[in-house]
Amino acid sequence: MTLTDEIKRRRTFAIISHPDAGKTTLTEKLLLFGGAIHVAGAVKSNKIKKTATSDWMEIEKQRGISVATSVMGFDYGDYKINILDTPGHQDFAEDTYRTLTAVDSVIIVVDVAKGVEQQTRRLMEVCRMRNTPVIIFVNKLDREGRDPFDILDELEQELKIAVRPLSWPINIGAKFKGVYNIYEKGIDLFTPDKQRVSERVEIDDLNDPRIDEAVGETDASKLREDLDLIEGVYPEFDREAYSRGELAPVFFGSALNTFGVKELLDCFVEIAPCPSPVSAEEREVRPEEEKFSGFVFKIHANMDPNHRSCIAFVKICSGTFMRNEPYLHVRSGKSLKFASPTAFMAQKKSIVDVAYPGDIVGIPDSGGSFKIGDTLTQGEKLHYRGLPSFSPEMFKYIENTDPMKSKQLEKGIQQLMDEGVAQLFTNQFNGRKIIGTVGQLQFEVIQYRLLHEYGAQCRWEPISLYKACWIESDDADALEAFKRRKHQFMAVDRDGRDVFLADSSYVLTMAQSDFPKLRFHFSSEF
């Protein structure tokens, strides 16, 4: 196969949603269809000890939530599919935002009973900023929920995108009978089964009496009315509008019961975009280019607790990645070779010899040489942007509770900060280390992982801060004067940059007006 053929068969996408909408369950079922797993796991169940494939960290299995993006690749028919299952919990939103820079399209999962929730809106804003094509899967139709037309209205209003149903439910909740596939013109009858796929009735015409036989006359006539209404109200499905991120196709189903998932997958591989050009600071990089380039969008420490190494996740943007070839690490200027790059199935890894645009490759990193946003190329100095770290909103001092384990704690903090889970600041006034996060749950995850992965115990001490902002100025004297006046609130980040820790919004506003020559940044990219 030529490079162009390989690019055309790639589909790299993220599954995003509010917590508990069924995102990880949907991922499991997609893997089931791809033959990548043979039994789908429950995300949280006390009876079965089989957990979801994509939730492989110990804390994820216990809590029944995803706390880190996991990457899974498999073949489906002629297509190579790369799924990134993201955390839905808002405390881990930053991991999800970064993941969205590495995908070509997105599937949003919405719970039929709850509709669009806060976190879904925020994620949709990120998709809109990047014009990422979106498909919506309305889940849990086997439970009581809202009218499908109400859900469609809410999707349009809340997510600010035109929608077009490509499948339609026949009743919902206890009376749920199945889904009519508008895209392929067939009815799928619902049988609750977590491992098997339900039967399909092929029909050429909506007036086909087999519909009445399958679902009963009342539901059949309601289905015909609904479909008439859909044709009248919603625009025809337009692939171009979908590719531009202006129109979202909508599918209905029940991921837990493997229902409506195959229709989603079949349509998705056909209409979703293959890897597209990526903007670097210097120029636009096209996937078909001969020379390899890619960027690190995520770092994960301790994927294999036996080896204590980090893995850098690299999204390939152009050319062909070859094992054992020398590539330029742009930030350090060094040439590096990778003897064991890996492809993923969540935590299971296999060594890859060659990878193409759209693929995600894991590079073992024992020396801490990678950071999020680093670029690898075949010589050209490119810088891919759009991987921000936001100003944290919660702060705590981190203290060592076991002086014998200070080395382990130091290493653990360093590796976890490399992942971008949280940010580390060192207070210049008293030398104490401060961890800043986006949400409370991250403190628990850090403490848990330090103990279980590094054998280091820490405790948190409260600190009252409002915001951390990076400061810079072209006037060295003004910067020095500010640092002298605010010396109790000055810290440095891991790169040695000056950070002002404001303890209230009033103090921050006053500082900005008193020192007009200083620039205050609320994201680490400036």
Over the stretch 307-316, which tens digit does the pLDDT of each residue have? 556 788 888 9
Say what the pLDDT of residue 207 is: 73
CA dist., res. 279 & res. 302, Å (int): 31
Tokens 């070779």 belong to 337
Say what the pLDDT of residue 390 is: 63
Output the DSSP codes for 21-41: SSHHHHHHHHHHHTTS-SSPP
Q: Regarding the domain with residue range 278-377, which homologous superfamily does it belong to in the CATH classification?
A: P-loop containing nucleotide triphosphate hydrolases (3.40.50.300)
Q: What is the mean pLDDT of residues 444-468?
A: 87
Bridge partners (DSSP) listed for residue 139:
111
- In this structure, what DSSP letter does residue 359 have? -
Neighbour-count burial of 335, counting CB atoms closer than 10 A to its CB (0-12 exposed, 13-18 middle, 19+ buried): exposed
Output the DSSP codes for 202-234: E-S-TT-HHHHHHH-HHHHHHHHHHHHHHHHHS
- Res 58 pLDDT > 60: no
Nearest CA to 130 among 294, 245, 271?
245
Backbone phi, then psi, for 478, in 5-degree steps?
-60, -40
- Tokens at residue 133, please? 């094509």
Share of the chain above pLDDT 90, in %: 20
User: In sequence order, which residues have a C-beta less than 8 Å from that of residue 13 and are 6 or more positions away?
Assistant: 81, 82, 83, 84, 103, 104, 105, 106, 107, 268, 272
Q: What is the mean pLDDT of residues 285-305?
A: 81
- Res 197 pLDDT > 60: no
* pLDDT confidence band for 281 (50 / 70 / 90): confident
Say what the pLDDT of residue 277 is: 87
Whole-model pTM?
0.74
Amino acid letter, 401? T
- Res 397 pLDDT > 90: yes
Lowest-pLDDT choice from 108-117, 186-195, 415-424: 186-195
306 or 132: whose pLDDT is higher?
132
Q: What is the mean pLDDT of residues 490-496?
A: 89
Nearest CA to 435 among 494, 357, 511?
494
CA dist., res. 262 & res. 265, Å (int): 5
Say what the pLDDT of residue 133 is: 93
CATH of domain 12-271: 3.40.50.300
CA dist., res. 248 & res. 156, Å (int): 9
Ramachandran assignment for 420, one of left (phi > 0), alpha (psi -120 to 50 degrees), beta (any other): left
The pLDDT tens digits of the residues spanning 239-279 come to: 999 998 899 999 998 888 878 888 888 888 999 999 988 88
Q: What share of the chain is helix, strand, coil (3-state, %, to 5)?
A: 30, 30, 40
Domain ranges in the chain are 12-271, 278-377, 394-521
Say what the pLDDT of residue 39 is: 45
Query: How many Cα atoms within 13 Å fall on the side-chain side of residue 89?
Result: 16
> Does 12-271 match 394-521 in CATH topology?
no
* pLDDT confidence band for 386 (50 / 70 / 90): low
* pLDDT confidence band for 136 (50 / 70 / 90): very high
Specify which of 204-208, 398-402, 519-523 reaches the highest per-range mean pLDDT. 398-402
The pLDDT tens digits of the residues spanning 66-110 come to: 434 567 788 888 888 888 866 544 444 566 677 778 888 999 999
- Res 517 pLDDT > 60: yes
Q: What is the mean pLDDT of residues 425-432?
A: 90
- Tokens at residue 125, please? 């804003």
Neighbour-count burial of 155, counting CB atoms closer than 10 A to its CB (0-12 exposed, 13-18 middle, 19+ buried): buried
CA dist., res. 74 & res. 350, Å (int): 12
* pLDDT confidence band for 526 (50 / 70 / 90): very low
C-beta of residue 201 within 8 angstroms of C-beta of residue 250: no
Lowest-pLDDT choice from 14-28, 49-63, 389-403: 49-63
**What stretches of 64-123 adopt beta strand conformation (E)?**
70-76, 79-85, 105-111
Say what the pLDDT of residue 145 is: 85
Say what the pLDDT of residue 414 is: 84
- In this structure, what DSSP letter does residue 42 have? B
Q: What is the mean pLDDT of residues 450-464?
A: 88
CA dist., res. 396 & res. 385, Å (int): 29
Q: Regarding the domain with residue range 394-521, which homologous superfamily does it belong to in the CATH classification?
A: Peptide chain release factor 3, domain III (3.30.70.3280)
Say what the pLDDT of residue 99 is: 75
